[in-house]
Structure 1
Amino acid sequence: MTQSRTVLGPDEIARALTRIAHEILEANHGPDDLVLLGIPTRGVALAERLATRLTEITGEDFSARTGALDITMHRDDLRARPTRASQPTRIPASGVDGRTVVLVDDVLYSGRTIRAALDALSDIGRPRAVRLAVLVDRGHRELPIRADSVGKNLPSARSEHVSILLDEVDGEDAVVIEAEPATGGAA
């Protein structure tokens, strides 16, 4: 039987995204030349939510500066995992050349997804800088990658699964840790 616990609810997710939006603006010294690219699937929904927050904070429309970056063909595990249908890459009309691109994803774990995103981004153009914003950083990095903005650092065991549920995709907002119970001898 799988055990699960909710570690973030809708209000905590909303607060984390508002904080991340402020951190992005502070690190960039304002909204100029910012582009948000979400990594499908949930990273796109999070990027769109961040765009809404940035619009509210700055008064500038960020919806036109928000897109999606499909990393499927840049993954290093294509042989081990079947390709999954993903959202197509959508780059804002302003492009990425000379801009600060904020990659947005739901969970930072091994770093391999972000490595693939950096490869995909280099196929599109040459940003001035690339930043990373994630809702959850669960640790266990296999590559030297870290997020610039994190909604929640959530140390977890490798045996646990961190699920991000978003209303746009799953019909609810929550961050849930699921753990398989230990198996073994008699109690």
Structure 2
Amino acid sequence: MANDRRGDVGGEGTGLPDHELLSASDVTRTIARIAHQIIEKTADAEHVVLIGIPTRGTVLARRLAAAVAEFGGTEPAVGTVDPTLYRDDLRRRPTRALEDTQFPEGGVDDALVVLVDDVLMSGRTVRAALDALSEHGRPRSVQLAVLVDRGHRELPIRADYVGKNVPTSRSELILVSLTEIDGEDRVSIRRGAGE
């Protein structure tokens, strides 16, 4: 089941078919493109760390690190940061199990950190991840990579690397499926299923 940042939604509920935005090959190509961009923008950096935001951001961070290494860059260290306890909307969101926050052995001090997530919407998850990250070290700089940017920002946050911009209404959901979690790579939109 794909996650839209508001919980698992599966394929039921609206009676409307999901519309595919990215196929498996599109997801692979998009990750490769973002990896090339990361190599270009971080070429002078000595210490690059990719930090995934659970759950799918962690998988994407691992894939991006492998792609960076494949395309001739130095493979970045990979970690994960769970921003759940740093959210400003905890009381309004359904609770979920906490995931491990794990940083690479070298930590994040003086590193160029690239936060990685599947979908960027309001910016609240990224803000919470930045707060969590600041408790674990002081990076030299932080960049943001997302597979999909769907708009509707509530905070002044912008991604440095975007796989696909998808203008949406608030009643639509972006569903990201990744093989490691969902058994397939796919990004789709479900109309009329959101708020």
Taking structure 1 as the reference length, the TM-score comes to 0.91
CA distance in 2, matches of 1:59, 1:145: 27
Which among 75, 81, 86 is matched to residue 87 of structure 2?
75
Which among 91, 112, 122 is matched to residue 103 of structure 2?
91
Give the equivalent residue in structure 2 for 1:138: 150
CA distance in 1, matches of 2:151, 2:158: 9
Taking structure 2 as the reference length, the TM-score comes to 0.88
Please, which runs of 5 or more residues in structure 1 have no aligned partner? Answer: 182-187
String of CA shifts for 1:91-114, please: whole Å, max 9, x gaps. Answer: 000110001000000000000000
State the SS of the aligned residue for 2:92: coil
Give the equivalent residue in structure 2 for 1:25: 39
Quote the offset at 1:12 in angstroms.
Answer: 0.7
Question: Which stretch of structure 1 is more off in the superposition, 3-12 or 172-181?
Answer: 172-181
- RMSD over equivalenced CA pairs, Å: 1.4
**1:35 paired to 2:49:** yes
CA distance in 1, matches of 2:86, 2:169: 27
**1:171 paired to 2:183:** yes
Quote the offset at 1:31 in angstroms.
Answer: 5.8
Quote the offset at 1:176 in angstroms.
Answer: 0.7
Quote the offset at 1:59 in angstroms.
Answer: 5.7
Q: Is the 8 A contact 1:40 1:86 kept in 2?
A: no
Question: Which stretch of structure 1 is more off in the superposition, 78-87 or 97-106?
Answer: 78-87
Q: Is the 8 A contact 1:31 1:58 kept in 2?
A: no
Larger Rg: 1
Q: Is the 8 A contact 2:123 2:153 kept in 1?
A: yes
Quote the offset at 1:76 in angstroms.
Answer: 1.1
String of CA shifts for 1:134-183, please: whole Å, max 9, x gaps. Answer: 000001101000000000011111110000000011111100100128xx
State the SS of the aligned residue for 2:108: coil
CA distance in 2, matches of 1:17, 1:106: 11
Quote the offset at 1:30 in angstroms.
Answer: 4.6
Which among 126, 144, 147 is matched to residue 159 of structure 2?
147
Please, which runs of 5 or more residues in structure 2 have no aligned partner? Answer: 1-14
CA distance in 1, matches of 2:91, 2:32: 38
Give the equivalent residue in structure 1 for 2:60: 46
Q: 4+ residue stretches of structure 1 with deviation over 4 A?
A: none
CA distance in 2, matches of 1:60, 1:119: 27
Q: Is the 8 A contact 2:39 2:73 kept in 1?
A: no
Number of aligned residues: 179
State the SS of the aligned residue for 1:58: coil
Q: Is the 8 A contact 2:24 2:185 kept in 1?
A: yes
